[in-house]
Amino acid sequence: MEQLSSTELSNQAYVLSASNDYDSYYYIKRNMDTLLASLALIFLSPVMIIIAVLIKLDSRGAVLFTQERVGARRYFKNGRVVWQVQKFRVYKFRTMVQNADSSLHQEYIKAFIEGNAEPAGPDGKVYKLTNDPRVTGVGKFLRKTSLDELPQLFNVLLGEMSLIGPRPVPVYEYERYEAWHRERLAALPGITGFWQVSGRCQVSFEEMIRMDIEYVRHQTLWLDLKILLWTIPAVVSGRGAE
């Protein structure tokens, strides 16, 4: 499959609104993101240091893993809110062996999008690559508890992500999207979101897309706060995480 260049990505934009009604929402949301992400980094810094030490003790390689993902940025054009697709680097704690080959995940994503992926997991309901030989011992725990996502708080401070929003996807996943799938990009990508607390790897690809589009079309501060609160029991239960 031919890969999209950065120029081709930046030429893809989507109209979300014909007015400026969301101005106050995005302003308040951005300030809330900055405040909460800063506080979280301060209070969770001891936990992050412990995680970094455990990763180093468990396997060779860097503590952090970065990957190019696809998200979007918001701007105005002719009185309309437009979301322009862009690439950026996402930060995570490394959960795999150093320099792990991504081809295994790429093949799974292809099958998932095409509807050919079989659900796995202990209850046979998880749409995720399970028993991945690339994942380290510590990595399994970090994934189960979602602690590997903590470094994305820096992406939030940089304005590349929000606390709440559709997840940013690898370039090779975006390249397989159909036109209607791309509406899910009409929001700043998030650390957690409607899909994560409602279905998290327990629904099909198209159901996941519909959940994200539902969020994109009905974004409010109240919905964001509810998702933030729903994230706590979802993480504690480990639902859909492997």
Kindly report, residue by residue over 16-55, the tens digit of the pLDDT: 543 445 678 888 999 999 999 999 999 999 999 999 999 9
Q: Is residue 60 part of a domain?
A: yes
Q: How far apart are CA 96 and CA 132, in angstroms?
A: 9
Q: Is residue 130 part of a domain?
A: yes
Q: How far apart are CA 82 and CA 89, in angstroms?
A: 22
Q: Is residue 74 part of a domain?
A: yes
Cβ proximity of 175 and 118 under 8 Å:
no
Q: Is residue 137 part of a domain?
A: yes
Who has greater pLDDT, 22 or 82? 82
Q: How far apart are CA 228 and CA 191, in angstroms?
A: 10
Q: Is residue 12 part of a domain?
A: yes
Could you tell me what percent of the chain has a pLDDT over 70? 81
Q: Is residue 1 part of a domain?
A: no
The pLDDT value recorded for residue 236 is 65
Q: Is residue 242 part of a domain?
A: no
Residues 6+ apart with CB under 8 A from 165: 187, 188, 189, 190, 193, 215
Q: Is residue 240 part of a domain?
A: no
Structural domain that includes position 19: 6-235
pLDDT band at 2; cut points 50, 70, 90: very low
Q: How many residues does the chain have?
A: 242
Question: What does pTM read for this prediction?
Answer: 0.85
The count of domains in the chain is 1
Q: How far apart are CA 234 and CA 239, in angstroms?
A: 6
Nearest in space to 1 (alpha carbons), one of 86, 113, 133? 113
Top mean pLDDT of 66-70, 133-137, 232-236, 237-241 is at: 66-70
